Amino acid sequence: MNGNSYAMIAIGIMAGVTFLLRVIPFIIFSKGETPAYIDYFGKVLPYAIMGMLVVYCLKDISFTSAPFGIPAVLAVLLVAVLHLWKKNTLISIVSGTACYMMLIHLFG
Amino acid sequence: MNMKLLKTALVKTLPVMAGYIVLGMGFGLLLRESGYGVWWAFAMSVFIFAGALQYVGVSLIASGVSFISIALTSLMINARHLFYGISMIKRYEGTGFKKIYLMHALTDETYSLVCTDSVPEGVEPHQYYLLVSFFDHIYWITGSVLGSLLGAALTFDTTGIDFVMTALFVTIFIEQWSNTKEHRPALIGVGASVICLMIFGSANFLIPAMVIIMVALMSLRGRLETKEEK
């Protein structure tokens, strides 16, 4: 098999598996009324998953070696405080990211 | 399609635009360096549309591993998407054939924008979901194509700009937190993830964390639901 057809099949597999994972929940619950517990998960799961995604973004930070996660922790705090105060998504994100980039430059 | 809808979707997706263009460029550049040009980047971003897997996919393709390991790796990296669908079943109900696209475009970032209950006033939810998904997809494709085309011509230092994604998730977390008095689901999400991260390490913690989250939320169901009705 030449390189191009190998790569094409590889991409097809990655796309296929990913699409399947995204579609399966909709297929399972496509028939008739959605069960009550799915309504319940639809309500509470976003809160839990957003918490999980925040942790996921910070997963590779090392707190045991320099800079001990300080830039990320400070920048996350800044985003949180700004957002509680101003409630403006763009201001919070731009300030937090600028702060993070400056801090890793300083510590790096 | 009205202007208000377009404008709302554009403003809401601006943080994703910044993140996807930068991360997409990184991907396009990486793919080009392993010998696959702009059409490959374009095809992967159109048909796979999953950041982490596409980055890993570059090295998988470059090293020529078996199709079985490609399928298994895709399964492991993207298994979390099973859980995103569960919370979108109700919201995507009645979208007809557009649902196929909505499901395909349900990335972490798109999910974070469409899973909130507060669709802006005067905006039709289904059109809004569709437009947010489509814009995010366009940003990702644009980023990867740019990265592939510009390649080594990029010299400015963008280290740390991927923090936009973290910041986006933090702002949504804060918004959700302020909109409810019931903080247990959010705390379960953070708690389960931190504990699993410490036990299983950063490469393997997502799936156990999700299982714990599902079990914990299931066991709280009675209490959380009665509280909501009051």
| B88 touches A at CB < 8 Å | yes
Partners of residue A12 in chain B, C-beta under 8 Å = 47
Q: Cβ(B104)–Cβ(B9) under 8 Å?
A: no
The per-residue pLDDT string of chain B (230 residues; one tens digit each, 9 = 90 and over) reads 688 899 999 999 999 998 899 889 889 988 988 899 999 999 999 999 998 899 889 988 988 889 998 998 898 888 889 889 988 998 998 888 999 999 999 999 999 999 876 787 788 899 999 999 999 999 999 999 999 999 767 666 767 877 888 998 899 899 889 988 999 999 999 999 999 999 999 888 888 998 999 999 999 998 887 655 43
What's the domain range around A26?
A: 1-32
Task: Let me know whether A24 and A68 are in one domain.
Answer: no
Comparing CB atoms, the residue among B57, B115, B202 nearest residue A46 is: B115
Partners of residue B170 in chain A, C-beta under 8 Å = 54, 76, 79-80, 83, 92, 96
CB contact under 8 A, B173 and A51: yes
CB contact under 8 A, A50 and B172: yes
Radius of gyration of chain B (CA): 19
The pair of three-digit structure tokens given for residue A69, joined into one six-digit string: 């996660």
Comparing CB atoms, the residue among B54, B160, B185 nearest residue A101 is: B160
* DSSP string of chain B, one letter each residue: --HHHHHHHHHHHHHHHHHHHHHHHHHHHHHHHTT--HHHHHHHHHHT--HHHHHHHHHHHHHT--HHHHHHHHHHHHTTHHHHHHTTTTTTTT-TTHHHHHHHT--HHHHHHHSSS-PPTTS-HHHHHHHHHHHHHHHHHHHHHHHHHHGGG--S--TTTTHHHHHHHHHHHHHHHHT-S--HHHHHHHHHHHHHHHHH-TTT-HHHHHHHHHHHHHHTHHHHHHHHH-
Task: Let me know whether A90 and A69 are in one domain.
Answer: yes
Task: Let me know whether A82 and A44 are in one domain.
Answer: yes
Number of domains comprising chain A? 2
Determine, yes or no, domain membership for B35: yes
ipTM for the predicted complex: 0.88
Comparing CB atoms, the residue among B92, B173, B217 nearest residue A50 is: B173
